[in-house]
Amino acid sequence: MTSHVDAETLALSAEGLLEEDEENAVRRHVLDCATCADQQAQLAEVSRVLAEVPAPPMPEALAARLDDALRAEGEARRASGPGGAPAVGSAPPPPGAANTANVVPLRRRRGFGANRWVNYLAVAAAAVVVVGGGSAVLHGLTTTGGEAGAPPAASAPSPGSSGEGDTALSYQPLLVSTATVYTEAELAAQAQSVLTENDPTSPGGTEGDTEGPAEANRPDPSAVPSEVSSCAHRLGPQAGGHPLLIDFAEFDSGSGPEEAWAMYFGTEPGGGTQKSYEVVVVPAGCAGDDPVLATAEAPAP
């Protein structure tokens, strides 16, 4: 071996991640090469330097600020009803509500790129909290209409109506905005992560959820672009299923994140036996003859 070993190979070697042949070659080379031996020693130092970086302690004021924010949130919750369901029905969406419950960025500061969604996502997010089942149910997508007074989330993907063989979306897809920046390379892993947090087949919710002022907080179907529904119908046959989860997020094809919709198609709307999802990412608006930016298969959580 004549050329030096690059730092990455040395680092992978230190973690025991190289194949045996390569590992042996690296070892032999390092034994005879002062430069690489030194590099190897410096790599070990990187971890030490990182471990020793001082970090400021939590500011005192932050503890009080967190308490205040949570107290306000708690008051909103109490004000919304004695049931104790996690509801913010009567309160405006607090900062950051324009997102799903598991990922709540504040959109107020330099809300680059995402603001166009906020109008209706804020509504959707309020519903996420109200219904408690983690499902923002969009009746605008159910071309059969659904029962207006039905509890929206306790059994979101499995409404009583059996729409078997029906071309209409006789179930209710879960709508979220996870702020994920999907990429082609990472799509499968990202989808899996999103599914873990937003399982469209999870019943979720508690008793109290169905008593909340759910109807008032249901997302306004007219606020969601109509393209969402038509896009789902368009892609359905190709993806071999029905959209069970739609993530209003972003996609980075290498030239920066663009708004995009990630549609998670499954074959078992309403069933708990979903094994995997076909994930199809399209640009927001779903325009073009072939809008698909990327696809992947992700196992059900």
Partner 1 sequence: MTTVIDAVQELPDKELLSRHAQGDDQAFGELVRRHRERMWAVAIRVLGDSEEAADALQDAFLSAFRGAHRFRGEAQVSTWLHRIVINACHDRMRRKMVRPAVPTDDATLDVLSNERTRHTTPDPTGHSDSAMDVHAALGKLPEEQRMALVLVDMLGYRVDEASEILEIAPGTVKSRCARGRARLLPYLAHLRNPGSPRDVTSPRGGDRRS
Residues 185-214 that bind partner 1 (CB under 8 A): 189, 192-193, 196-197, 204-206, 208-209
Query: CA dihedral defined by 240, 245, 248, 250, rounded to 10 degrees?
Result: -60
How near is the Cβ of 52 to partner 1 at its closest, in Å?
8
Of 27 and 166, nearer to partner 1 (C-beta) is 27
Total number of residues that touch partner 1 (CB under 8 A): 77
Q: Where are the alpha helices (DSSP H) in the chain?
A: 7-14, 20-32, 34-51, 60-79, 115-131, 187-197, 214-217, 226-239
Binding-site member from 3, 15, 32, 275 for partner 1 (CB under 8 A): 15
Supply φ then ψ for residue 234, to 5 degrees: -65, -45
How near is the Cβ of 238 to partner 1 at its closest, in Å?
29
Determine if 85 is a binding residue for partner 1 (CB under 8 A).
yes
Tokens of 127: 């519903």
- Which residue stretch of 19-27, 99-107, 167-175, 275-283 sits at the interface with partner 1 (rule: CB under 8 A)? 99-107
Report the alpha-carbon distance of residue 178 to residue 250 in Å, rounded. 9
Pairing of strands 294-299, 257-266: unpaired
Provide the 3-class DSSP secondary structure of residue 160: coil
Of 129 and 262, nearer to partner 1 (C-beta) is 129
Mark residues 229-258: x for contact with partner 1 by CB under 8 A, - for none: ----------------------------x-
Candidates 158, 190, 168; CA nearest to 296 is 190
Determine if 110 is a binding residue for partner 1 (CB under 8 A).
yes
Tokens of 199: 């399982």
Of 132 and 243, nearer to partner 1 (C-beta) is 132
How near is the Cβ of 67 to partner 1 at its closest, in Å?
5
How near is the Cβ of 272 to partner 1 at its closest, in Å?
14
Tokens of 109: 């500061």
Mark residues 120-159: x for contact with partner 1 by CB under 8 A, - for none: --------xx--xxx-------------------------
Residue tagged 């045996």 (tokens): 20
Mark residues 22-61: x for contact with partner 1 by CB under 8 A, - for none: -----------------x--xx-xxx-xxx-xxxxxxx--
Determine if 179 is a binding residue for partner 1 (CB under 8 A).
yes
Binding-site member from 1, 35, 66, 240 for partner 1 (CB under 8 A): 66
Binding-site member from 20, 21, 34, 109 for partner 1 (CB under 8 A): 109
Binding-site member from 36, 88, 232, 245 for partner 1 (CB under 8 A): 88
- Per-residue b/e over 206-223, b at no fewer than 16 CB within 10 Å? eeebbebebeebbbeeee
Of 110 and 237, nearer to partner 1 (C-beta) is 110
Binding-site member from 37, 111, 184, 221 for partner 1 (CB under 8 A): 111
Query: CA dihedral defined by 235, 236, 240, 243, rounded to 10 degrees?
Result: 110
286 close to 234: Cβ distance less than 8 angstroms: yes
Candidates 63, 64, 84, 176; CA nearest to 128 is 176
